[in-house]
Amino acid sequence: MERTSVSKPRAWRDLGARVSMVVPAVLVYVALLVVPVIYAIYYSFTEYNGFPHRVPEFVGLDNYRTMFGSDDITGTMVVTAVVAVVGAVAVNLAALGLALLLRRTNRFNTFGRVVMFYPHVLSALVVGFLWQAVLGPQGVVNTMLEKVGTDSLPFLSDPDWALWSMILVIVWSLFGVQLILYLAGLQAVPADLLEAARIDGASRWQTFRAVTWPSLASTVTVAVITSGISLLKTYDVVVSLTGGGPAGSTKTLAYSILAVSFPQRDIGLASAQAVLLIVAAAVLAITVLVLRRRAEDDAESIG
């Protein structure tokens, strides 16, 4: 009709305007996020100490061999995986459980939500220092234990304890976000279905299994992916809570990249570790998305 007969120059001008509106975002994004990823991939195949006048020397897969061959670095991979998996499970269980308890909106529940969310507005660095003062060898908890005549506990000074202490601190500071996501998701659970289940005499657990859980599918996906990715890049808490110790028991990959490989001017190795983390994040996201799709298909075939 009329719109198709818009004059050529005007159509061109509109195209120009459109392009000029997208270009700035593309430029910033490509220059500072995409190009660095490409650089990381390139450097991961080179030996390079980061000095501007040195040319990176191509060494093929050497950095990846070093990475998977070094006990120290495979140790950090295990720590990272434990933090990500255990942390994500704990965060999501705590968040979903408390979301179910705080579901109804009243004064008490609103207060509870605020209290459980507040650690998220503190930076992870501050959270780490704060918990260091609570759990450290001379920290609050151990001072109290000594006062009542009990032996102090090695929360941060024993390799086995330190990792679990750190996960506890991360869960404490993180689950509030997922709690809010689940609360939002619960609002979308159809009230008439819940009512119907109640009338049919379903138990709480049956109602949850049959009604609430399936309607939460997309929320669970978002919550698991967001918590998993933020756990994969755990760095700030390590710096302030444990410094990677004792004996490397809390050293994550991100910490190893920024606090070990980079200061040692091993740019190739740092980049290889970065590539590994990017791949891990992508695999995590894709896995969760595929699982979710399958779950949705199942739900459709039932309902």
Partner 1 sequence: MKKTLTSAATVRVAFVSLVSLGMLVPMYLLVVNAFKSQQEILANPFSPSFGTATFQYLADAWNNPDFSILKGYGVTIALVLCVNALAMAVCAPAAYVLARTPKPVSRLLLFFFVAGMFIPTQVILVPVIFVLRGIGLMGTLPGLILFMTATTIPFTLFVFFGYIRVLPRSLDEAAAIDGAGRYRTLWRIILPLMRPIVATVFILNSLSVWNDFASPQMILGPGSGVYTVTTGVYAAVGQYSTDYTKVFPTLLLAVIPILVIFVVMQRHIMSGLAAGAVKG
Nearer Cβ to partner 1, position 114 or 196? 114
Shortest Cβ 110–partner 1 spacing (Å): 8
Write the DSSP assignment of 10-70 as a string of letters. Answer: HHHHHHHHHHHHHHHHHHHHIIIIIHHHHHHHHHTTEE----TTSPPEE-TTHHHHHHHH-
Q: Which stretch binds partner 1 (CB under 8 A): 59-67, 109-117, 206-214, 291-299?
A: 109-117
With binding defined as CB under 8 A, does residue 148 bind partner 1?
no
- The alpha carbon of 77 is separated from its chain's Cα centroid by a whole number of angstroms, namely 15
Tokens of 108: 């008490």
Those residues with Cβ within 8 angstroms of residue 271's Cβ, 6 or more apart along the chain or in another chain: 39, 40, 41, 42, 43, 44, 63
Shortest Cβ 227–partner 1 spacing (Å): 11
- The alpha carbon of 130 is separated from its chain's Cα centroid by a whole number of angstroms, namely 21
With binding defined as CB under 8 A, does residue 248 bind partner 1?
no
With binding defined as CB under 8 A, does residue 63 bind partner 1?
no
Shortest Cβ 151–partner 1 spacing (Å): 17
With contact defined as beta carbons under 8 Å apart, do 67 and 273 qualify? Answer: yes
With binding defined as CB under 8 A, does residue 145 bind partner 1?
no
Gap between the Cα atoms of 118 and 179, Å rounded: 12
Instruction: Return the bridge partners of 46, or none.
Output: 58
Gap between the Cα atoms of 197 and 101, Å rounded: 19
94-124 burial by CB neighbour count: b if 16+ within 10 A, else e?
bbbebbeebeeeeeeeeeebeebeebbeeeb
For partner 1, the binding residue among 4, 108, 191, 302 (CB under 8 A) is 108
For partner 1, the binding residue among 59, 86, 125, 193 (CB under 8 A) is 125
Those residues with Cβ within 8 angstroms of residue 214's Cβ, 6 or more apart along the chain or in another chain: 295, 299, 303
Shortest Cβ 215–partner 1 spacing (Å): 13
With binding defined as CB under 8 A, does residue 274 bind partner 1?
yes
Q: Which stretch binds partner 1 (CB under 8 A): 59-67, 191-199, 234-242, 291-299?
A: 234-242
Q: Which of residues 76-95 bind partner 1 (CB under 8 A)?
A: none
Binding mask 149-168 for partner 1 (x = CB under 8 A): --------------------
For partner 1, the binding residue among 1, 33, 199, 302 (CB under 8 A) is 33
With binding defined as CB under 8 A, does residue 1 bind partner 1?
no
With binding defined as CB under 8 A, does residue 26 bind partner 1?
yes
Those residues with Cβ within 8 angstroms of residue 33's Cβ, 6 or more apart along the chain or in another chain: none
Nearer Cβ to partner 1, position 33 or 302? 33
Those residues with Cβ within 8 angstroms of residue 15's Cβ, 6 or more apart along the chain or in another chain: none
With binding defined as CB under 8 A, does residue 64 bind partner 1?
no
Binding mask 187-216 for partner 1 (x = CB under 8 A): ------------------------------
Shortest Cβ 284–partner 1 spacing (Å): 8
For partner 1, the binding residue among 235, 291, 295, 296 (CB under 8 A) is 235
Gap between the Cα atoms of 237 and 250, Å rounded: 10
Gap between the Cα atoms of 69 and 297, Å rounded: 42
Nearer Cβ to partner 1, position 106 or 301? 106
Nearer Cβ to partner 1, position 3 or 302? 3
